[in-house]
Structure formats: structure tokens, C-alpha cells
Amino acid sequence: MNEENKEPIRVIIADDHVLYRAGVKASLSSSPDIKVIAEADNGMHLLHLLKNIEVDVILLDIQMPIMDGIATLPEIKKISPRTKVIMLTMVDDNSMITKLMELGANSYLTKTSDSEIIHEAIKTCYEQEYYFNKLTNQALLSNLKQRHVTTPQQLVSQEAQLNDKETMILRLMCEEKSTKEIADIVELSPRTVEAIRDKLKVKTGSKTTAGLIMYAVKHKIIEEI
């Protein structure tokens, strides 16, 4: 399909600061591939909107009155599991980032991120499920080191047996390659790559792609970032 004929990515901004919402909306308005379709000033308001609106990506502030982003995130995933959620905060907190990724967040940005980074995160999450950056990578690795003793027992006692193809695909996922790029490199169809990715989750006991990345680091499938 021609790039110009594609529907824009539908975005909702959930943040209690009117000026911040206005600034992000204005910066994204110059991008024809992204359309801000609604705004919310707290989690409760957002969840109400989701009952009537289909959205691709949500920019979700962590600190909001009435219902904050942390409480809202799992509810979003229940109502609209395909919707990607990018958490926004002023705080760079490794343990918080990991907790949010485990709850289903697709990326984590500080509110000081410029418009180009926000645009890139929205597009990448929409197309590839996750947007990993320096913040998320450091948090996942740091938290993994601190919590290795609480890793599920089956992963401690028995490392999953991955074949060469599975190992290569996992490495390429860690390098932030898209499904199509991986398919081209390993000479398989994108659908087959997706099937192998799902199989990897089952084999490693990972619920999310973030979990697969953590598994790859723990078992030295990739070098530390």
C-alpha cells in the first residue's frame, strides 16, 4: 500500500497538564502519519473514552489526579489489549520503568523528550510493539541484575533449549529489528517469524517482548547494552 494512503496512527494524550497536552498535540500535528483523536486529564476519563473510541497508541502520564497512569495501565490492556501505551514521566526510575514494562507498557519516555523522539516512539510502538531506548534498556538490565534471585524457578533450574534459528531471531529482536527485517535476514516469511517469536515466549516463560529481552541478557544470548 502506498505510504500516503495509509490511515494515520490514532493517538490519545492522557495528562492532567493542559499546556503539556497542547504542546505535544501541536508538535504532532505537523506529522501526517499521526492524528491526535482525543485528550484525557486523568485515568478515569481515559478509560471512559476507550469505551467509545478505537485508538492505536496512548501517551499516558504516570502522575495524574483521581486515577494515575500506573493504576490505569492494566485497565487499558483489559479494555483494549492491542493498544500500545507509552508512559510519560518527569522521573527516571529504573525500578518503576521495569514495573511498568512488566504491566504491559510498550515504552517509557521522560516528559522532557523532544517531539522527534515522541514521534519515533509512537511509530515504533505501533509498527513493532515496543520502543526501547537508553532508559528502558538500562532499567531492564539493572533490575534484572538486582532481581535475579527472584527469577521464576523453572528459568533458574533449566535454561530453554533454543535452536540456531530461534537464537538468531531473538538476537535480531534485541537489536530492534522489525518483523519484516528479521524475516528478510533469516529468509522466512513475516508470519513464520511471528510464530517463532510466540514460541520463544512459551519456551522461555516470557509474557512480553520485554521479557524475552531480559531472558536474552540473563542467558548471555546478547551482550549487555
- Going edge to edge, which strands form the sheet with 84-89? 34-40, 9-14, 57-61, 84-89, 107-110
pLDDT tens-digit series, residues 53-77: 999 999 999 999 999 999 999 999 9
- pLDDT-derived band of residue 150, with 50, 70 and 90 as boundaries? very low
The three cell numbers locating residue 164: 540456531
CB atoms within 10 A of CB 117: 14
Q: All domains of the chain, ordered by start, with CATH?
A: 3-134 (3.40.50.2300), 147-218 (1.10.10.10)
Buried (b) or exposed (e) across 54-65, using 16+ Cβ within 10 A? ebbbbbbbbebe
Among 202, 206, 181, 17, which residue's Cα sits nearest to residue 101? 206
Give the pLDDT confidence score for residue 91 in this predicted structure: 75
Count of CB atoms within 10 A of residue 31's CB? Answer: 18
Q: Considering the chain, what is the average pLDDT of its residues?
A: 84
pLDDT at 146: 61
Tens of pLDDT, residue by residue over 167-215, are 899 888 888 788 889 999 999 998 888 888 888 888 887 777 777 887 8
Give the least confident one: 7-16, 110-119, 202-211. Answer: 202-211
- State the pTM of this model: 0.66
Per-residue confidence (pLDDT) for residue 72, from 0 to 100: 96
Is residue 8 very low, low, confident or very high in pLDDT (cuts 50, 70, 90)? very high
**Rounded to 5°, angle at Cα 121 from 119 and 126:** 100
Tell me the average pLDDT across 134-150: 63
